[in-house]
Each structure stands twice: as structure tokens, then as C-alpha cells.
Amino acid sequence: MAVRDIEEGVVDSNSTIPLKQHFVFVHGISGGSWCWYKICCLMENSGYKVSCIDLKSCGIDQSHADSILTFDDYNKPLIDFISDLPDNEKVILCMWQQLY
């Protein structure tokens, strides 16, 4: 998708209502939503809708790491967040993983 498309909004082929575009940022292992603070602030100040998600037992999520038994458990905050979004909201999912 071109930057111009993001700025102007993309129109759904079945509707004349522009789709809302929403950037969702997800951190890598041993990170948290805090790792996105610089880009999040810049994008919000430019008028974009931005959300930064903490996966289970990361960032401000209070879950204990030993309570996470499956990948589904770990990803539950992201899945729940995306499931609750309105149908007309277009999500641009940005993920990051830093290898040490």
C-alpha cells in the first residue's frame, strides 16, 4: 500500500464510506508496548490512529510468565483487541523482533 493511500484513506468497493485505518504495533520477545513510544507519538501527532499492545506477561500486563502455557495464551491480548475492532476498521499490523 502506498503512503498516499494511507493518507487519503482507502474506499471499500462495496461502500462509499472510507475505511478507518488503524496502526496496531506489537512488540517482540522480552519487550512491551513501551518500545513503540517514539513512532507512536509521531504518528498520533500526524493524525493517525495508533495502538500499542502488550502481549501476555509483557510490558504492563501483570500475568506471571509461568502461567503462559501456549502460544495462544501469549497472543490472547492481541487477538482480543483485534476481535473487538469495528468491521469497517482497516488494521495495519506492525510487529518487531530484535534478535540479540
Does the residue 91 lie in any domain? yes
CA distance 49 to 40: 9
Sign of CA dihedral 50, 36, 81, 3: positive
Q: Flag whether 8 is in a domain.
A: no
Direct distance between the N- and C-terminal alpha carbons of the chain, in angstroms, rounded to an integer: 31
- Asked whether residue 5 is assigned to any structural domain, the reply reads no
Does 14 reside within a domain?
no
Dump pLDDT digits (tens) for 39-95. Answer: 999 999 998 999 999 999 888 888 888 999 999 999 999 999 999 998 888 889 988
In a domain, 32, yes or no: yes
How many domains does the chain fold into? 1
Q: Judge whether 48 lies within some domain.
A: yes
If one counts every other C-beta atom within 10 angstroms of the C-beta of residue 79, the result is 11
Q: Give the global pTM.
A: 0.71
Q: Which domain holds residue 56?
A: 21-95
